Amino acid sequence: VPSPDLSVWGIVVAAGSGSRFGTTKQYELIGGRSVLDRAVDATLHACGGVVAVVPASDVERLRRDDVLYVGGGSTRSASVRRGLDAVPAVADVIVVHDGVRPNAGPALFDAVVAAVRGGAEGAVCAIPLTDTIRRADGGTVDRSDLVAVQTPQAFRAEVLRRAYEGEGDATDDATLVEAVGGRVVVVAGAPDNIKITHAHDLAVAAALIGCPP
């Protein structure tokens, strides 16, 4: 077993209070393991250490020897900032993963980290859009050059830290990295790497993993 690569750290963002979902979806169980633990385990595959950003009220309660829990902020970006504060300065690549994507496989983590090791300042995984896209007020949009962005996303640590120095807020880290001039590449994501958004997505994730409902 190789020793963990402490130059790569992960931030798993799971600070949502479930205002849309109706409950804290990151703690729901799929095949006996929580959505969050599944996301953390996948991130640990590629990272020497993982910071999980969770609701502040849950920090004391959650316990895993291999995870550093920190309390989140009021927005996703505020939560990532808290996570960044907890990542050791030695890390030169930082992987950010949504805590509500329980199905991301190791290959996705390997791919985004390899892209950054290969010279990119950031790498996101993404998939082609399969549905026709239109503007709500009329007109079909050419989707041929559009992709749906997923996590994991990997970044050179100093670029990600620079992106989060300001007050910027975005639902996506690559957006902030590009706003400070960072170059972000796209690697192939996976259609089954779903985000738990609606209650029925738990059954979907279980079906994709092959767990009994």
Contacts of 119 (CB under 8 A, 6+ apart): none
Angle, vertex CA 194, rays to CA 206 and CA 83, nearest 5? 110
Binding range to a second copy, per CB under 8 A, among 27-35, 38-46, 83-91, 182-190: 182-190
> Minimum distance between the CB of residue 34 and a second copy, rounded to whole angstroms?
19
66: buried, middle or exposed (CB in 10 Å: 19+, 13-18, 0-12)? Answer: exposed
Q: Which two tokens stand for residue 54?
A: 């969770």
> Minimum distance between the CB of residue 178 and a second copy, rounded to whole angstroms?
7
Binding range to a second copy, per CB under 8 A, among 9-17, 50-58, 82-90, 205-213: 205-213
Spacing of C-alpha 101 from chain mean position = 7
Q: Phi/psi zone of residue 179: left (φ > 0), alpha (ψ -120 to 50 degrees), beta?
A: alpha
120 binds a second copy (CB under 8 A): no
114 binds a second copy (CB under 8 A): no
Q: Are 141 and 162 in contact (CB under 8 A)?
A: no
Q: Are 51 and 68 in contact (CB under 8 A)?
A: yes
Q: Which is closer to a second copy, CB of 17 or CB of 57?
A: 17
> Minimum distance between the CB of residue 184 and a second copy, rounded to whole angstroms?
7
Residues in contact with a second copy, shown as a per-residue x/- string from 136 to 165 under the rule CB under 8 A: xxxxxx---xxxxxx---------------
Residues found near a second copy in the complex (CB under 8 A): 124, 126, 129-141, 145-150, 170-172, 174-175, 178, 183-184, 186, 191-192, 195, 197-198, 200, 203-204, 206-208, 213
